[in-house]
Amino acid sequence: MEEQYRDALKTITEIESGVKKGTKNAKKAVAIVVALMFAAGWSLTASAAGNELWQSAAEAYSNGDWQGALTQYQQIEQQGLVSDKLYYNIANAYYKNGELGESILYWEKALKLNPSNADAKFNLEIARESVLDRIEVVPEFILAKWVKDIKYLLSSNAWAWVALSLMLLVAVALLGFRYFRTLGLRRFAFILACVFFVLAISSFIFSLSERHDVVSESEGIVMLPVSSVKSSPGEDGKSLFILHEGTKVEILDELGSWLKVQISDGRQGWMPAGDVQAI
């Protein structure tokens, strides 16, 4: 009697397997896409060597060997590797070594890469105390300032990830818009999708613009103890004002080996390119 039961089970399974098939392709596709996303993520975090140098440099710094630490950090930099932490540590080593201009340059570099680096901000404030030039900053339009404040909350890479996450949310909201049953929910999902999309686009723009800040090298630090700003490019230009080591200038233009610079109170002039180091 047991036989019939077993036979029935077997028969049903066989018929089932014959009739089914298909629908699995969709799952496969999703799996591939997710795998692709992870692969892309990993490809970013995988970084080259330099960790050993990083460790030994930190040790040298702890022991008060600023010069030694500096040399090792510079070796990492020469390998073409960067990070805000690397710039920050280089700046610290420079500062301890008594090189004010260089240290300010590297803190600014660290902040360019990651504007949310609080340590770099703090140290830069301390270093600026020693800068001789005090320039009245022209107040900015309040909206522009807000946008800037928001932009400098995160680094370029962080904004890129935020943009991706928001795009994912847009996709989810659109799905909701498409498949929710009640009209109210669908309307809500649509609005949500629109908001997320706008935010995603802004994040994307922030990310691109921060990248542009770094790539364009539009700001510089005066590296010479004393450097005069002239009215025209060339030695025979009239000296307009004098800047000291560590002062930040905006680089507006370049003509031969002369840079057109603007200080934060709006005054402009020309400086030899060697006197200013771009951030």
Partner 1 sequence: MLLFAAALLNAQNLTLEAPNVVAEGEPFRVVFTADGSVSDFDWTPPAGLTLMWGPQKGSSSSITIINGKRESSHTTSYTYLLNAAAKGTYTIPAATCKVGGKQCTSNSATVEVVEGEADPAMGQGGGQGSQGQGSQGQSTQGQSSQNQGSASQGSQNSDPAITGTVSNEDIFMRLNLSKTSAVKGEPITAVLKLYTRADIAGFEDFKLPTFNGFWSKETYAPTNLELNRENINGKIYNTTVIRRYMLIPQQEGTIVIEPAEAVCQVRVRASAGRSRSIFDDFFDSYQTVKKRVATPSINFQVKPLPAGAPSSFGGGVGQFNITARFANDSIAANQASSLIVTVSGKGNVTMLSAPKVDFPTDFDVYDVKTTDRSEANGTGGSRVFEYPFIARSYGNFTVGPIKYSYYDISKGSYITTEAPAVTIKVSSDGVEVVDNGGVAGGVRQSVRNIGSDIRFIATGAPALSRKGEFFVTSWPFYAILAAIVALFFIVCAILDKRRKMMADVAGTRNRRANKMATERLRRSKGYLEQGLVGAYYEELHKAVMGYVSDKLTMPVADLSKDNICESLAARGVQQSTIDCLMNIINTCE
Q: Is residue 247 part of the contact set for partner 1 (CB under 8 A)?
A: no
Two structure tokens written together for 96 = 């301890």
Q: Is residue 278 part of the contact set for partner 1 (CB under 8 A)?
A: no
> Which range in 33-41, 133-141, 237-245, 249-257 contacts partner 1 by CB under 8 A?
33-41
Q: How many CA atoms lie within 13 A of 82 on its CB side?
A: 12
Which of 72, 93, 259, 275 forms a contact with partner 1 (CB under 8 A)? 93
Residues between 122 and 141 with contacts to partner 1, criterion CB under 8 A: 122-123, 126-127
Residues between 153 and 172 with contacts to partner 1, criterion CB under 8 A: 156-157, 159-161, 163-164, 167-168, 171
Which of 145, 148, 178, 267 forms a contact with partner 1 (CB under 8 A)? 178
Closest to partner 1 by CB, 129 or 235: 129
Distance, in Å, from the CA atom of 99 to the CA atom of 62, rounded to the nearest integer, reads 18
CB of 123 to partner 1, least distance (A): 4
Closest to partner 1 by CB, 81 or 240: 81
- 241 neighbors 269 (Cβ within 8 angstroms): yes
- 135 neighbors 263 (Cβ within 8 angstroms): yes
Say which DSSP state 258 is in.
E
Q: What is the CA radius of gyration of the chain?
A: 29
CB of 279 to partner 1, least distance (A): 14
Q: Is residue 21 part of the contact set for partner 1 (CB under 8 A)?
A: no
> Which range in 207-215, 227-235, 249-257, 270-278 contacts partner 1 by CB under 8 A?
207-215
Which of 83, 232, 262, 264 forms a contact with partner 1 (CB under 8 A)? 83
CB of 151 to partner 1, least distance (A): 13
Closest to partner 1 by CB, 150 or 226: 150
CB of 29 to partner 1, least distance (A): 5
Which of 44, 153, 191, 242 forms a contact with partner 1 (CB under 8 A)? 44
Q: Is residue 199 part of the contact set for partner 1 (CB under 8 A)?
A: no
Per residue, what are the HEC states of 162-229?
Answer: HHHHHHHHHHHHHHHHHHCCCHHHHHHHHHHHHHHHHHHHHHHHHHHHHHHHHHHCCEEEECCCEEEE
| Residue 229: alpha-carbon gap to chain centroid | 32
Distance, in Å, from the CA atom of 163 to the CA atom of 205, rounded to the nearest integer, reads 9
- 66 neighbors 97 (Cβ within 8 angstroms): yes
